[in-house]
Amino acid sequence: MNAKKDKIDIRSLDLQALQAHFIQMDEKAFRAKQVYEWLWKKSCLSFEDMSNISKELRTKLDEKFIINNVKINTSQVSADKTIKNSFILHDTHLIEGVLIPTADRMTACVSSQVGCSLTCKFCATGYMERKRNLNPDEIYDQVVLIDKQARENYGIPLSNIVYMGMGEPLLNYANVMKSIERITSPDGLGMAAKRITVSTAGIAKMIRKLGDDEVKFNLALSLHAANDEKRNTIMPINEQNSLKALADALKYFYAKTKNAVTYEYIIFDGVNDNIQDAMELAKFCRHIPCKVNIIEYNPISFASYINAGEDKVEAFADYLRSQGVNTNLRRSRGKDIDAACGQLAIKEKDKAIAEEA
C-alpha cells in the first residue's frame, strides 16, 4: 500500500475507528489514543515526529495512512497588519483565510468550502464556482496555521475564530460541526466555543438544526435587508429562505440555545440605506435578543454597489439605537489587500504560484 492514493486519510477517522485499525494491525488500542493526541492536540503533520511511538509503528503508520495537511501558498500583509493567506489543499484546490489583529483580539477568519454555491451579489466568493466542501481537518489546519502566524508576527495567540471566509458553513454542516468539536475539545485545541462565530447567509432548516444540536458557539446572520423584495435581489438565497422562515428558525434556535444572534448589515448606497430600511430592521430585531453589526462595504469588480455615505450610516445606526437595538459600526480590515469582508476570491497570481510549487 505504498501508492499515495491508496493510503487512508488518518484524520478522517474518529478515535474509535482509529483504534479498530490498530487492533487489525496487532497494536494496542491505547497507542491509537497517543497518535490521536499527536494529530489533534499537538497538530503533528508527520508520523516521524511522534516521538513516543516506536520506530516500527511509525513505519506501519506511514505505509497505511496519510496526513493530508493544508499549506500556505501565499501571504500578504495589509497596512493595518491584517494578513491574508491563500492556502493550498492536498488536491491543489486553493482557499483563503485571514488573520485579523485588533487591539483586544486576534481573530482567524476561515473558509468552509472551496468556492461557494450561493450567489450573493456583493460578495466576490459568490461569483466563484463551488468545487467541494472542506473536510474538518482542512478547517482545523487553517486555524492552526493562522494561530502560528499570530504568535510569530505579533507574539499573541488566537483569541477568536469566525467562519466567515469562503463558502456557506451551514451547507457543509457535518464537517463544520466536526471541525468545531476538534477545535474546542480538550483533546484538540481546547478553544472555548464562545470564542467561535459561525456566519450564515440564512438557511432556515439548518438554523433549526443548530438549535436541535444546542450549539454553544455564536451565530451570525448576514441579513443586509429586512425586506423580502430587497433581500431577494441582494441575496438570492432569500427566495427559498424568506424573512418569515428565517425569523421562525431564529426563534426556534433561541428557544433551544438561549444564544443571542448577531445580524450583519452592509449599508449599500441607494439600496438599503434609508430610515424605512432601518425601521424594518428594528422590527426584525424584536424577534429574539440580538445585536446588529453595521459593516463597511468593500467594493468588488463584479458588482456595482457602493458604500452609503457616512451621514446615512450614522443616521441609520442612530435610529436603531433609538429603538433599543444594540448596534455597532464595524470598520473593514485588510481592504487594501482584498482581505476584507466579501472580498475573498482566488487571484490568478495565487494560482500561478500554486502551479509552480
78-116: per-residue pLDDT in tens?
888 899 999 999 999 999 999 999 888 999 999 999 988
Q: What is the CATH number of domain 71-356?
A: 3.20.20.70
| 164, HSE (Cβ side, Cα atoms, 13 Å) | 24
In this prediction, residues 290-319 reach a mean pLDDT of: 86
pLDDT for position 342: 46
Distances in Å between the Cα of 281 and the Cα atoms of 160, 185, 208, 287 are 27, 37, 21, 11
Q: Which residues are annotated as a binding site?
A: 116, 120, 123, 167-168, 199, 222-224, 298
Q: Which residues are annotated as a binding site for [4Fe-4S] cluster?
A: 116, 120, 123
**Residue 6's pLDDT band (boundaries 50, 70, 90)?**
confident
CA 15 to chain CA mean position, Å: 25
Residues of the chain within CATH 3.20.20.70 domain(s) are 71-356
pLDDT for position 307: 83
Residues of the chain within CATH 1.10.150.530 domain(s) are 4-66
**64 close to 1: Cβ distance less than 8 angstroms:** yes
- pLDDT tens, position by position, 184-222: 999 999 999 999 999 999 999 999 999 999 999 999 999
**pLDDT at 331 exceeding the cut of 90:** no
Q: What is the mean pLDDT of the chain?
A: 90
Distance CA 244, CA 202 (A): 11
Q: What is the CATH number of domain 4-66?
A: 1.10.150.530
Is 138 labeled as catalytic in the residue annotation?
no
Pairing label, strands 160-163, 132-133: unpaired
Catalytic residue among 27, 96, 138, 296: 96
**pLDDT at 17 exceeding the cut of 90:** yes
Lowest-pLDDT range of 29-33, 62-66, 121-125, 181-185: 121-125
**70 close to 89: Cβ distance less than 8 angstroms:** yes
Letter for the amino acid at 80? D
Catalytic residue among 109, 285, 290, 341: 341
Closest among 14, 249, 226, 279 to 137, alpha carbons compared: 14
- pLDDT tens, position by position, 168-187: 999 999 999 999 999 999 99
In this prediction, residues 235-257 reach a mean pLDDT of: 96
In this prediction, residues 228-243 reach a mean pLDDT of: 94
Is 63 labeled as catalytic in the residue annotation?
no
In this prediction, residues 244-249 reach a mean pLDDT of: 98
**64 close to 25: Cβ distance less than 8 angstroms:** yes
